[in-house]
Structure formats: structure tokens, C-alpha cells
């Protein structure tokens, strides 16, 4: 044990705590995921551990299960819709909050945050009831819009924090170098915000794809999203097919993480 030589006691305690937290979260978060993945390859038709053998039949079953495939496609559609809406609404909102010269920029940035602070279930129920009052019934569109409202804050905050770190002199330089306000936005501001927009897009897509609390009250009767379908599935079966769906989602989540870290990595090259 030589690593603590020459370090202050505060450092030693700090490093110890960080290690402890890391191990703890690894065990609590990652271990179950690994177990789920292992179970998804099990040859037996019910959930056990350790597995009895290796098979891909549950993955095959997932893609032959019509309702599951449809639910995945529905969730994909919701995820993409939410992402597009969040970019279209969130980026201008962030620009207005940070660069805006009008009264109420602070109010605006707080206002965007409010739906995110409300528990998803409350938001979902509220949309359902309000919709019923004005004659809007649950649908894949209502679900997409509700989740957009719920998650918009994440896009706004991500872009906002990047914007606040951008040297305002860059945009002034662009203007001084003959750029019109629109040219400055297109050639300087947007390219420099790209990593943040990309990161925000990944977060909002995952939320759109994965959200249960809002979706459960707002999704269309015939357009069940994946989380709702899965919830229904686990209620009457314990076959590893559920584990296989989780396996698919884990692969997607890892892909998303890689995209985020790459876009943040690109961000650093620029600075």
C-alpha cells in the first residue's frame, strides 16, 4: 500500500469514498443488467440463475412477437418525434434565455423547467384528464407531445450551459467580420453548439423511447409503446423474452452513451 504516500489525509479519504461509491453503484446498477443479459441467453423457459445453457431463441422470439415489434416501432417513433420537437423548441428557447435582451429571460428558463420537476405520473394524469375535458383522446401524438413537455428542460439546459460557456466575443467577432446575425448563427453559434445539441438529442430520444410514467396515461389504445407493452408482458409471463427485450435496450443505451461521450469528446477538441 504505497499509493497514499505523499497524499493528504483528505485525499486518502476522498479517493476511498469515490472508490466505495463506484463499487456500490457498479454492484447495484450494472450487476442486475448483467444478470438480465445472462438470463436472456438461457435455454430454459423461465427465469433462473445461473442459466442452464446458451441460446438466441429468446431474441428470435422477440422479433417474431408481433406486438413487441410493433411496440418497439411505436417507441422508436415517439423517441424520434420527441427528439425533433425538443431540438426545434429547445434550441431557440436556450438562445432566447441566454442571449435574449428582453425582460423575462429568467422567468422563461424557470418556466421550461417546471414540467420536469412535476412527477411524470402527475403530468400524465393531468394530460389525460385535461385531454378528456377538451375532447382530446390519448394517442401516439398526445404521448409524444406530453413527453416533449416533460423532457424539454433537458435539451434547453444542455444547450444553455454550452451557450453560457461560449465566449460572447466570438459572435461579436463574427458581426465585426461582416456576418449578418443569421450568418453568425449559422457559421459560428450552431457549429459550436452542435455537441450540446447532439448530447441533448440522445437524452431526449432515450426518454421518448423509454418513458413509462407519462406514456402509460397518454399512449394511444392501439399504439402501445415498448415500456407499456413490457409491463403487460411481465404481468402474465416470466419467460426470458422480457430479458431479451432488455438486452436489446441495453445495446441501444450503450450506443447512445458512446455517441454522447464522442460528442463531448469533440467538444473538447474545439476548446
Partner 1 sequence: MMHGPAGPSNTVETTAPVLGIGAVGKRFGATRVLQDFTLDVAEGEIVTLLGPSGCGKTTLLRCVAGFWEADGGTIEIDGQDIVDVPVNRRPVGVVFQSYALFPHLTVARNVGYALRMRNKPRAEVAQRVASVLETVSLTGFENRYPSQLSGGQQQRVAIARVLVMEPRVLLLDEPFNALDAKLRGAMQVELRQLIKRLGLTSIFVTHDQEEALTMSDRIAVMSGGKIEQVASPDEIFDRPATAYVADFIGVSNFLETEVETGHVRLPDGQTVMTDLTGGVKVMTRPHNLRLGPPEAGPWKGTVSFHRNVGPLIEYHVEASDGNVIRVSAMRQERDCPVKDRSQVSLSVIDPASCSVYPG
Separation of alpha carbons 243 and 250, rounded Å: 10
CB of 265 to partner 1, least distance (A): 14
Among 177, 231, 254, 264, binds partner 1 (CB under 8 A): 177
Separation of alpha carbons 158 and 225, rounded Å: 26
Does residue number 170 form part of the binding site for partner 1 (CB under 8 A)?
A: yes
Does residue number 235 form part of the binding site for partner 1 (CB under 8 A)?
A: no
Q: Nearer to partner 1 by C-beta: 175 or 258?
A: 175
Q: Is residue 162 packed enough to be buried (19+ CB in 10 Å), middle (13-18) or exposed (0-12)?
A: buried
CB of 185 to partner 1, least distance (A): 12
User: Quick one: which segment of 12-20, 53-61, 142-150, 175-183 binds partner 1 (CB under 8 A)?
Assistant: 175-183
Separation of alpha carbons 80 and 39, rounded Å: 30
Radius of gyration of the chain (CA): 23
Among 167, 254, 255, 258, binds partner 1 (CB under 8 A): 167
Q: Nearer to partner 1 by C-beta: 64 or 167?
A: 167
For the chain, the maximum distance between any two Cα atoms, rounded to a whole number of angstroms, is: 70
User: Quick one: which segment of 143-151, 178-186, 228-236, 243-251 binds partner 1 (CB under 8 A)?
Assistant: 178-186
CA-nearest of 49, 31, 69 to 233 is: 69
Among 18, 31, 110, 173, binds partner 1 (CB under 8 A): 173
Does residue number 172 form part of the binding site for partner 1 (CB under 8 A)?
A: yes
Does residue number 192 form part of the binding site for partner 1 (CB under 8 A)?
A: yes
Which residues, 49 to 108, sit near partner 1 by CB under 8 A?
none
Among 2, 101, 103, 178, binds partner 1 (CB under 8 A): 178
Does residue number 198 form part of the binding site for partner 1 (CB under 8 A)?
A: no
CB of 173 to partner 1, least distance (A): 4
CB of 121 to partner 1, least distance (A): 42
Element (H, E) at 200: helix 190-210
Question: For 135, left (φ over 0), alpha (ψ -120 to 50), or beta?
Answer: left
- What letter would DSSP give residue 258? H
3-state secondary structure of 240: coil
Q: Nearer to partner 1 by C-beta: 28 or 269?
A: 269
Q: Nearer to partner 1 by C-beta: 72 or 197?
A: 197
CA-nearest of 134, 135, 151, 158 to 215 is: 151
Percent helix / strand / coil, the chain, rounded to 5: 80, 0, 20
CA-nearest of 247, 214, 216 to 232 is: 216
Q: Nearer to partner 1 by C-beta: 67 or 167?
A: 167
CB of 90 to partner 1, least distance (A): 21
Binding residues vs partner 1 (CB under 8 A): 167, 169-170, 172-180, 183, 187-188, 191-192, 269-271
Amino acid at each position: 500500500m504505497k499509493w497514499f504516500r505523499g497524499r493528504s489525509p483528505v485525499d486518502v479519504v476522498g479517493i476511498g469514498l469515490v472508490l466505495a461509491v463506484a463499487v456500490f453503484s457498479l454492484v447495484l446498477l450494472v450487476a442486475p443488467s448483467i444478470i438480465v443479459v445472462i438470463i436472456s441467453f438461457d435455454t430454459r423457459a423461465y427465469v433462473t440463475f445461473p442459466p442452464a445453457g446458451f441460446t438466441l431463441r429468446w431474441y428470435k422470439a422477440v422479433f417474431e412477437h408481433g406486438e413487441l415489434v410493433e411496440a418497439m416501432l411505436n417507441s422508436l417513433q415517439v423517441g424520434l418525434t420527441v427528439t425533433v420537437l425538443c431540438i426545434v423548441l429547445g434550441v431557440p428557447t436556450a438562445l432566447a434565455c441566454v442571449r435574449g435582451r428582453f425582460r423575462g429571460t429568467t422567468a422563461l428558463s424557470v418556466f421550461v423547467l417546471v414540467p420536469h420537476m412535476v412527477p411524470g405520473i402527475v403530468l400524465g394524469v393531468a394530460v389525460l384528464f385535461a385531454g378528456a375535458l377538451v375532447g382530446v383522446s390519448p394517442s401516439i401524438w398526445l404521448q409524444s407531445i406530453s413527453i416533449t413537455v416533460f423532457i424539454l428542460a433537458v435539451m434547453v439546459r444542455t444547450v444553455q450551459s454550452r451557450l453560457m460557456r461560449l465566449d460572447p466575443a466570438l459572435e461579436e467577432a463574427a458581426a465585426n467580420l461582416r456576418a449578418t446575425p443569421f450568418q453568425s448563427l449559422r457559421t459560428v453559434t450552431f457549429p459550436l453548439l452542435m455537441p450540446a445539441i447532439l448530447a441533448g438529442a440522445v437524452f431526449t430520444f432515450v426518454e421518448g423511447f423509454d418513458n413509462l410514467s407519462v406514456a402509460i396515461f397518454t399512449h394511444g389504445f392501439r399504439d402501445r409503446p415498448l415500456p407499456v407493452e413490457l409491463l403487460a408482458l411481465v404481468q402474465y409471463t416470466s419467460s426470458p423474452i422480457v430479458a431479451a427485450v432488455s438486452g436489446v435496450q441495453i445495446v441501444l443505451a450503450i450506443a447512445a452513451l458512446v455517441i454522447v461521450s464522442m460528442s463531448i469528446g469533440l467538444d473538447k477538441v474545439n476548446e
